[in-house]
Amino acid sequence: MDIKFEVVNFSDVFRDMIPLFHDHWKEVAIHKDIRLDVDYDKYLDLDKAGLLHTVVVKDGDEIVGYSMSIVSPHLHCRSYLMSLNDAVFIEKSYRKGFMPVKFLKFV
């Protein structure tokens, strides 16, 4: 395994992340009758505006995990930035040892 963490532009990688979005949804969705309907346009708008912090886990060139956070000025203290994590996912076969912890520290 050649594991690395990388900050990326969502617009550059989201097509490669789509299978992971589906895997993530299958694993955690409580209401399976509600279909996954990712608003890619909104994510792309946030990315373009510099408000989406996207970090991926790669094994070689393959994306095997991600974290996406929305970054914006705090509503009560607008001179400070805050980050709200939207989603974190790592393929099951990579959730071993301390790699997930290292990834969250990197994020």
pLDDT (mean) for 9-32: 94
At 72 the pLDDT is 93
pLDDT, one tens digit per residue, over 55-70 is 999 999 999 999 999 9
At 1 the pLDDT is 75
Q: What percent of the chain has pLDDT over 90?
A: 91
Contacting residues for 80 by C-beta, under 8 A, at least 6 apart? 73, 74
d(CA 78, CA 92): 38
32 has pLDDT over 90? no
d(CA 96, CA 44): 31
At 94 the pLDDT is 94
